[in-house]
Structure 1
């Protein structure tokens, strides 16, 4: 494979979000116009691991040549047409080693970075643009350290990639959360119940805090502050009694923790990045609130409408912001390549597009600044000091 100015590879890793396809489209359209060839790596880092370096091999499941026609067709849709995975090439379990490498890698945990580097060379890839969250991009940091020319684009509906105020997918997540909550409030109001909604957010509570700040819920609990279930019940009971329709709403981050407790997992199996699948905190909160509710409702139990929003907030087409920001991020990535700048993360900071060293992804954590933005007594956002704040209020700085 050859091109006048080189070959650029794009991949998407981790969870899908609306806005990935517009980012792929932006990179591809600009790159082709500038004289590059563009390869789409399929299934995230898994595609880079599974490539068979043989001209006779069928690698169509691992990569494809991208054209204007392909990306224009997909560019207005949600998800990622390149598909995705949570593969981490530096930590591949023996059972997940590709068949053609099983005689070479025999450990329980294997580093296949050498194979990835050979595959990049085999495809004549000059530049690599990974689009993902801190897990996906952490391996981009590793490849950068190995000499690969990497320019990264941040994506995650949790909005928790360090170094940037905004990550692709977050606006649509907030938009969907508000819309779905408003749909369900008619159910809660009809039956005079509490409405408990579990939303994404393993370590960072942005996806619970911002919809609450926008008026979707009365209260929210976030991973950054352990909550007292009796206090939450009392607050929701107060909200319910003050509402003419006799209902109240709380958004619960999936990583939220009871006082003295830990995160709630669906099971203890972990992905390649060591993360067990979260899920169940909304169920536990609902059960406990129902049990405690008579204490704050004249001895009568209040029932709960309990819903895990989950994939409903990450499905479908991107909203306006998740159509515009990926376009800008993709073009920013091409600007950096054209300038000969690598090892960078394209970012939005204080309302302006910029770039940062990619190492910021692994050198810090991006969490809600509880002191500034969260009222720990009232379990709701702080509604003050908005002057000169960026669009989504909370920045990447702690």
Structure 2
């Protein structure tokens, strides 16, 4: 991830500089949210067409195995055609890039947006964050270098990441946590909050815009713990989080192997179509809940009752496998929301096994472990786990549970391709 601003740029006339840069920061946040909202709404419209209008017009059950398999295979074929033949080739492989890389050329944006929207609508188990951040970065870098020529490109990229993350979660807190770890390691005399000031402005503008447009992608929360957590709840969380992190690491190792295997086929048309077919089989196996990015489906799963431990664990494994295939096969998308669903399913499985432990504890600690292993960012994992609980009594437990989970993942590989599929070399760090 890129640094939010250079030290020297903030040091000169600090107050005046921060005040002046608040204007482009607000613009970045608003535009980031508008693009996210537009792409997400477009994907939902296409999803309704593919999974509701068309099958019902043809008299076919959209949850039936043949439709699921056929739709995901066709989605893989469509994305493969875009990556192989259309100008821009949908940009670099999402699995080989991280947040905050250099801005892509504007000519890449249309095909990247098309590949992302088709994948989201077609049921691929990836979220919107990676392609949306790449699109926003390309658009806003081109726009702000014309309107505010003195603003460094590196600052624009950092503000764009912050604005998009703020819009994704409907709060600037996630962006603040992400940039705290980064800014804390920067040398210099500027106060930490000075370094966070502009990213917070962009993230706040993005979050406010997204809320005004109708909310965020996380539209569910857990029941509260019903009182203070006790010692057994703490012990359960200290076990569930690292076990969930270990499950996530199994996905990391499987992904790195699968990415190399898929990309031996060389032609994107072949490996995305094959990936779509495998996702179709997993969709038939796991059912409709294991399709798509996983945000809405997580809420549906939480509202269900009486599911067995084995079934819930099965859903977690299928979703993680679908994330591995989707990420390895060249689809454009992010990993956070599918990991969130896998964490919710794993946490509900733990709740079925430990009925005396509150669901808010089992699910939040499982989400913490899964997201930590997949995203490899302790602050982000902690934030996602906290925000879905909405329960302050669980926060202290989560701050403890993240520690053993971090020990599990700290020396393991990141979920980032090391073979540069699609001709793109990995850039940045997780």
Interval containing the TM-score (normalised by the shorter chain): under 0.3
- TM-score normalized by structure 1? 0.25
Query: Which has the bigger relative contact order, CA under 8 A and spacing at least 6?
Result: 2
Larger radius of gyration: 1
Which has the larger share of strand? 1
Which has the larger share of helix? 2
- TM-score normalized by structure 2? 0.23
